[in-house]
Amino acid sequence: MSDRSLPTILLIEDEASDATLLRRGFEKAAVRNPIAHLKDGDEALAYLAGVGQYNDRTKYPLPVLILLDLKLPGMTGLQLLQWLRTQKEIRRIPVVVLTMDDSASTVNAAYDLGANSYLVKPGDPAEIGKIVEAIQRYWIELNEPPPLVIGAKNHGT
């Protein structure tokens, strides 16, 4: 059961089977943060920008962490990342790329566009649990997220 008082993790992943494995991994790792799952780049942009139905931040809260696949329908993950880093309120949200693509050029491009970290999806589904656990232990439990993400606007920029 997720706890709505905890910050949301945004999972941007078009592969249904990968998304299921990741969600199951989070459940197993006892992550109680709500997980918002979006399947395409344009939809993810709408969520982050808070347009249309996503205007309601009680229902669609800004995430404390974004797990981003790169190959997506609509806008690609790298395009979304590039857009995010230019936004005033939400530009600091940590983005962890989580993808099958392990080519050096893609890894480099992701860092150049401001990815905080880059993880390669393991070929073996059983290994996904380890990745999820590491994400939880590092990004959710240890890292200090940018305060604006939580919604407090006490510090102007």
Partner 1 sequence: MAKGPVLLVEDDPSDARLIQRAFGKLDATLAMIRLTNGDDVVSYLSGEAPYENRTTYPLPSIVLLDIKLPRRSGFEVLQWLRRQPTALNRLPVVMLTSSRHSVDINRAYDLGANSYLSKPETAFQLEELAMRFQSYWLGINESPDLLGNIAKLNRS
Binder to partner 1 among 39, 91, 125, 129 (CB under 8 A)?
91
Amino acid at 116: N
What's the min distance (Å) between Cβ of 135 and partner 1?
9
Rounded Cα distance between 110 and 117, Å, is: 9
Strands 95-99 and 8-12: unpaired
Tokens (6 digits) for 129: 């649990």
Q: Is residue 154 at the binding interface for partner 1, with CB under 8 A as the rule?
A: yes
- Is 53 an interacting residue with respect to partner 1 (CB under 8 A)? no
Residue number, 17 or 144, with CB nearest to partner 1:
144
DSSP 78: H
- Give me the least distance between CB of 42 and partner 1, in Å please: 20
Beta carbon nearer to partner 1, 35 or 90: 90
Task: In whole angstroms, give the CA distance from residue 132 to residue 135.
Answer: 5
Is the Cβ–Cβ distance between 120 and 110 less than 8 Å? no
Q: Is 151 in the site for partner 1 (CB under 8 A)?
A: no
CA distance 139 to 93: 11
Binding site for partner 1 (CB under 8 A): 78, 82, 85-86, 91-92, 94, 102, 104-105, 107-109, 111-114, 116-120, 130-131, 134, 137-139, 141-148, 152, 154-155, 157
